[in-house]
Structure 1
Amino acid sequence: MIIADPGRVLIVDDEPQILKSYTATLKLSGVKQVVAESDSRRTLEHLAGGAVDVVILDLFMPQPNGMELLPELRERFPQVPVVVVTAAYEPERVVECMKLGAFDYLVKPVENERLLTVLRQAFEWKAMMAQVHDLRDHLVQDRLDHPEAFSDLVTRSRKMRSLFQYLEVLARSPQPVLITGESGTGKELVARALHRLVGSPGELVAINVAGLDDAMFSDALFGHKRSAFTGADQPREGLIARAAGGLLFLDEIGDLGELSQVKLLRLLQESEYYPIGADTPRRSEARIVCATNRDLKKLVAAGKFRNDLYYRLNVHHVALPPLRERKEDIPLLLEHFIARTAEGLGTPPPSYPQELLELLATYHFPGNIRELQGMVSDAVARCQGRMISQAPFRAGMTTGHPPAVLATVPAGNDAAAQRLVEEIWGHFPTLREAEDLLVRLALKTANGNQGTAATMLGLKRQTFNVRLKVKKSKGSKIP
């Protein structure tokens, strides 16, 4: 088991052979900073320097013994987990140690695997507590320490700012990050921001794993040795090695095959991997970040995604809101994409009518920011004067997406659709009743702008105006 450079461990034990054995085990497993102390009187001195992350404490030592040290350690250094080790298993003493705040209790002789498992859990607990405190401070003070890291993410949304604060905190953790959100919400941009926050010298390496079979996945991530399989004339370095000291971004993780899921789980648990054809493992030094637009909980329930892998990935979860939940960003994004598209075309950025913002505010953007970017790019490219036309936007908004309320009804479930319709009206409506309601709602949502309301209903403005006149002449309650 590899523990990726977690911090400093203090081992306090009066037996030199134990100190030597534990130190060797930890260093071979990736713990670079190990302090071995045989004099228990110096324990507090080591912790007073603030550089100790976990203590491994023997109970039976010359004064002060472990039972005397434990409560003082927990009182003065509550952020440092203490793993108690003793030569005798006594249930009463175990209970007493746990009540005094011990993180865990191990009985000698301690198997290396057991020691490393407990130690890794202690490091994870300490990191989690530090993140909770940091996040609390960020939110209470509304603090953002590195706003430049988020320069690619154009926003004024309070939700997005909270996510940025969370990203600043989790950047200090070595644990994997899971980014979820609908297509077009900017998941890869978030991964790039995280890479900047980490500030490591390694590069960001991205791969879309959707459609990769197990052989392709293994070769892409782990690489292979020469002659590992037919056609392997040269050795190949995998993406994990390429991302050493940096960040490996696995997109569309929800589409990963079952065998590949097992290999990814082992990589996350052990921090090591085998290149294809290799007999010895290589250590992974890449931070793993995964992204998906699918609901992993539903995939787990359906047996299509491993439960243990889900919880291993979900240590830090960044859920990006869709554009329809952050519409205050539309004006900023509109101006940003206009300027960027015009720069690419080598033309001055055109202006836009105020009515365009009102039009965009009524749209639900199923394709999110990527859809808005496409609309803007098309409109700027078509622009012949100093102001872009609303026509390309209207065309993009009338492609026939179902209303959000009806989208919750399973396809083909006519009975559910009928119940929903009757719940709205109290009876099965006539076509006139349904049309009148839709027209009233469209006009209300568009703040009375008939052109915008027409776009929402998928009609040309002239056609909509004619229908309004006909409805009013027949006594319909249309404003």
Structure 2
Amino acid sequence: MSETVYPDFGILLVDDEPDWLGSLALTLESCAGICNIATCCDSRQVMAILDEGRIGLVLLDLTMPHLSGEDLLELIAERHPEITVIVVSGLNQVETAVRCMKRGAFDYFVKTDDEDRMIGGVLRGVHMQELQRDHREMASRFCSPEIRHPEVFDAIVTGDRAMQAIFAYVEAVAKSPQPLLITGESGVGKELIARAAHRLSGCRGKLVTVNVAGLDDTVFADTLFGHVRGAFTGAEQVRRGMVEEAADGTLFLDEIGDLSISSQVKLLRLLQEGEYFPLGSDLPKRLKARVIVATHQNLSAKEGTGAFRRDLYFRLRTHHVHVPPLRERRGDIPLLLDHFLEEAARALGKKKPTPPKGLAQFLATYGFPGNVRELKAMVYDAVSVHRDRMLSMDSFVKAVERSQAEAGPAAVTPPKENPFAGFDELPTFSDAAAFLVMEAMNRANGNQTLAARLLGISQPALSKRLKMRQSI
């Protein structure tokens, strides 16, 4: 597997001492995993290199022949204000440092400074540049909200405007190295969003999915980080962790809300430090994968009760999308119904059946606690027992009734406000019944069979009431 180039923009080291440049480049690569490095010994060539557009961060010496570091600092601020500049000088002078900061330097270090301090400053500069690039990309995408790569979202059947907005957001943040948090109820398609984000990221590696629900701390660490031989009893061979398997690609951690506190600490360190230790090893390895996490739980509420670490929560939600449940995008039901009918018929070796009139409207009256996954299961079950040209509605009605019965009375009939509470005079039973019939017919788009099901009466009884209204 090819090595990841980190970061995805170039870092230019500028100094008239080649030995210092070589030493600094080696230090950054060995201690921080920074390998996308270019060097320049002639200050007159710097602006031409920056004009090529691949450099995002410059480490700049001050005392050089031809153009001084301060002169270059002014030129960079004028012509390339988007580039982050860190001054690394042999001069330990407060006045010089203050002057450089006023001219736009992100930070100032002396060559004799502690190595860890300098590396930390460079990593902060890299992080700042990444955030700025994310911001520019997102601003550009939101100014032009059309989806540039609709084919990436083909697996998600929708015409809903909220879903289209989610697609545009995912396109905007797909190339960001920061974590992406996907929330939503079970069955809404969170993994499909993660797959789309991976395809849009441009990562050369694969998408590695890990469901972390139910993993204790040791199994979690072994699954993600792997182990060396002899790390524990039975560890006879080296095991690559999922983080390493996802190198150059995307690591997707599903059901992240179920992680124990101790496992949350390990994940936080992985994201903050960008490195991890395989079990039994003293040598760290770098994180070379984009991290996407998903959960059906309310992490904000869990954070409030102390069940989820606040620092990890805010680290994970750098980018966040919430996928709405199916009951909030009922307009997608006819599209999904048609899609799953075709898919089920193909999978079961049958001809695509014709859905009965009113089926989509009937399904739109159901809350779908299992969301798209539940609708898919209903369709597959109905097609599997289908025999005639016209698909029977009975299978769907039984599935809805069974789900409502299993959910219990509280879930089936949630308490509602009294619709007559503000009335000075109550309507008669006849008037109230007439209002119900009218509303049911409106919701069923004139379909008497569906309206009767909504009212819980037979179709002949509904037909009789409609004739009574017409005769009045």
TM-score interval for Structure 1 and Structure 2 normalised by the shorter chain:
0.7 to 0.9
- Distance across 2 between alignment mates of 1:395 and 1:190: 31
1:27-38 equivalences under 5 Å are 27-28=29-30, 29-38=32-41
Counterpart position of 1:414: none
Displacement of 1:285 in angstroms is 2.4
Change in CA separation of 1:9 and 1:292 when aligned onto 2, cut-off 3 Å: same
Counterpart position of 2:421: 425
Matched, 1:360 2:356: no
Deviations 1:328-371 (A, max 9, x none): 32222111100111111111010113312222333332221111
| Residues 338 and 380, structure 1, Cα contact 8 Å, conserved in 2 | yes
Match for residue 256 of structure 1 among 246, 254, 259: 259
Counterpart position of 1:451: 449
Matched, 1:172 2:199: no
CA RMSD of aligned residues (A): 3.6
1:15-414 equivalences under 5 Å are 18-28=20-30, 29-62=32-65, 64-86=67-89, 87-88=91-92, 90=94, 97-398=100-401, 399-400=403-404
- Distance across 2 between alignment mates of 1:438 and 1:362: 15
| Residues 33 and 286, structure 2, Cα contact 8 Å, conserved in 1 | no
- Distance across 1 between alignment mates of 2:47 and 2:202: 33
Displacement of 1:68 in angstroms is 2.9
The residue identity in structure 2 corresponding to 1:154 is V
Is the partner of 1:227 in helix, strand or coil? Answer: coil
User: What TM-score do the two structures reach when normalised by structure 1?
Assistant: 0.83
The residue identity in structure 2 corresponding to 1:43 is V
| Residues 203 and 243, structure 1, Cα contact 8 Å, conserved in 2 | yes
Displacement of 1:54 in angstroms is 0.4
The residue identity in structure 2 corresponding to 1:191 is A
- Distance across 2 between alignment mates of 1:423 and 1:99: 66
User: What TM-score do the two structures reach when normalised by structure 2?
Assistant: 0.84
Deviations 1:116-135 (A, max 9, x none): 33333333333333333333
| Residues 143 and 165, structure 1, Cα contact 8 Å, conserved in 2 | yes
Counterpart position of 2:458: 461
- Distance across 1 between alignment mates of 2:199 and 2:26: 35
- The aligned length equals 459
| Residues 448 and 459, structure 2, Cα contact 8 Å, conserved in 1 | no
The residue identity in structure 2 corresponding to 1:421 is E
- Distance across 1 between alignment mates of 2:168 and 2:382: 35
Change in CA separation of 1:445 and 1:19 when aligned onto 2, cut-off 3 Å: same
Bigger drift between 339-348 and 381-390 goes to: 381-390
Change in CA separation of 1:170 and 1:276 when aligned onto 2, cut-off 3 Å: same
Displacement of 1:215 in angstroms is 1.1
- Distance across 2 between alignment mates of 1:20 and 1:243: 31
Deviations 1:375-418 (A, max 9, x none): 21122123221111222222333433999xx98x9x9xxxxx6x
Instruction: Point out where structure 2 has 5 or more consecutive residues left out of the alignment.
Output: none
Change in CA separation of 1:231 and 1:218 when aligned onto 2, cut-off 3 Å: same
Instruction: Point out where structure 1 has 5 or more consecutive residues left out of the alignment.
Output: 412-416
The residue identity in structure 2 corresponding to 1:254 is G
| Residues 274 and 282, structure 1, Cα contact 8 Å, conserved in 2 | yes
- Distance across 2 between alignment mates of 1:81 and 1:396: 59
